[in-house]
Chain A
Amino acid sequence: MTTKEALYNYSLRMGDNALILGHRLSEWCSKAPIIEEDLALTNVALDMIGRAQAFLKYSAILKNEGQTEDDLAYCRSEKEYHNHLITEQPNGDFAHTIARQLYISIFEYHFFSHLEQSADVEFAAIAAKAVKEVKYHREHAIDWTIRLGDGTAESHKRMQAAINDLWMWTGELFEMDEVDTILLKDGISVDLAPIRDLWKKELDKVLLEAMLVFPEAEYMQSGSRKGIHTENMGHILSEMQYLQRAYPDAKW
């Protein structure tokens, strides 16, 4: 694999993570428990779509085959997506959405804080924007985790269940393959081993304050680096790509 191919794949992954999580979060529109949360979750979704657009646009430029960010978002098939499997997990109840946000936003905060130092100027620029936005996502997720975990018996039970249910998707956040290692040599990608330590440390602190038990299960599910998804992905794409498939090149 050449550095250029690795760059393309790395950018695509980050674009896909943001695109699929953004799509999932947008499903809360008009359905959140209170209006402030409706606004909050859709605002986070909007940040994700913006970030997806930035990374996919850069991917399209790197590929240099005349594609646009929209082509990449709407015209690929399931196996060509490389989003972390956690991003495609269903919203579940509010606690599950918050647990997913907690795992991802703490990871993204540390990840983008490091990517801001990337030798690739475009990655560094998008990361600098992303980290400012992720700060808000992270505070939002931490606040709710503590509020629900240290809340009523029912909210505590649900929050703990959500933390446990989503745990097996978190290992993948720190997986590194050829793409990561090629770029690491040139100071472009982020070394995920120290990010894992930062993530665990912060998560441990939050869960403790929220009166929640840190999950112990060791089994971790992965697949996204190879384009292998859970059954959820097909459903997401069928909805997300419907318009583009039914009316190719439709204009706003």
Chain B
Amino acid sequence: MVTLNQQTEQVYNWISDIPDPEIPVITIKDLGMLRNVKFENGNYVVTITPTYTACPAMKMIEDQIIEVLGTHNIHNVKVDLTYTPAWTSDWLSTEAKVKLKKYGIAPPSHSSCTKLFSAEERTVCPRCNSNHTSLISRFGSTACKALYKCDDCKEVFDLFKCH
């Protein structure tokens, strides 16, 4: 007999591989956006949290969750959005940080977010590992990234912001 817990765990596993629409090398589980799956009033309730309040990927992620579970013949799905606890880049798994770096995005370097872009913070170039890098702009191509340049290899790169 399959227990309810096993079923929700199975649902969790099926959707945990859904990639982030903007950084497709990491999944919604890697990012810490997938918070919970439970069975309630006849529905599988999937709880997700946005990285930034205006994260434009939320609707797409919701659609993908419904689509993926649909392929497993599960149609009683509700996707809930929560703001608490507030998402933090501390939730990125070590594995996710490795994947980000390989993809050319510098992962957040430290876990405390009290000092943004302070001089002592070293952002390492994801291409040549140099720490002679400088900030171009706090705001990058998506809400979760800042723009840096490497003073050694001269490449411009994104930093996944500490948040």
Contacts and interface: CB of A to CB of B under 8 A. Distances in A.
A44 B83 contact: no
A37 to B, nearest CB: 8
B83 A50 contact: no
B54 interface: yes
B116 A135 contact: yes
Contact of B137 (A40, A51, A128): A40
B5 interface: no
A136 B53 contact: no
Interface string A122-145: 001110111011011001100000
Interface string A170-185: 0000000000000000
Interface in A25-72: 36-37, 39-40, 43-44, 46-51, 53-54
B86 A50 contact: no
A37 B87 CA distance: 26
B140 A47 contact: no
Contact of A53 (B54, B85, B116): B54
A37 B137 CA distance: 8
A129 to B, nearest CB: 5
Contact of A139 (B50, B54, B116): B116
B54 A51 contact: yes
B132 to A, nearest CB: 20
Interface string B55-72: 110000000000000000
B163 A132 contact: yes
A121 interface: yes
Q: Is the interface of A mostly helix, strand, loop or mixed?
A: helix
Contact of A54 (B83, B113, B136, B161): B83
Given A39-B140, A39-B141, A46 B54 contact: yes
A40 B135 CA distance: 13
B54 A50 contact: yes
A140 B55 CA distance: 20
A44 B140 CA distance: 11
Nearest to B117: A139
A129 B86 contact: yes
A94 to B, nearest CB: 15
A133 B52 contact: yes
A132 B147 contact: no
A114 to B, nearest CB: 16
Contact of A50 (B55, B82, B116): B55
Nearest to B86: A128
Nearest to B146: A136
A24 to B, nearest CB: 16
B53 A140 contact: no
B84 interface: yes
B99 interface: no
B87 to A, nearest CB: 8
Contacts of B52: 46-47, 50, 129, 133
A54 B53 contact: yes
A44 B147 CA distance: 15
A136 B116 contact: yes
Contacts of A36: 136-137, 139, 147
Interface in B82-130: 82-87, 113, 116-117
Interface of B: 50, 52-56, 82-87, 113, 116-117, 136-141, 143, 147, 161, 163
Closest 5 pairs (CB-CB, A-B)? A50-B54, A50-B53, A36-B137, A43-B139, A125-B83
Given A53-B54, A136-B161, 17 more contacts: A36-B136, A36-B139, A40-B138, A43-B139, A43-B143, A46-B143, A47-B52, A47-B53, A50-B50, A50-B54, A124-B84, A129-B87, A130-B53, A136-B138, A139-B116, A140-B138, A140-B139
14 contacts: A40-B138, A40-B139, A47-B143, A48-B54, A50-B52, A50-B55, A124-B84, A125-B82, A126-B83, A128-B86, A129-B52, A132-B113, A136-B138, A136-B139
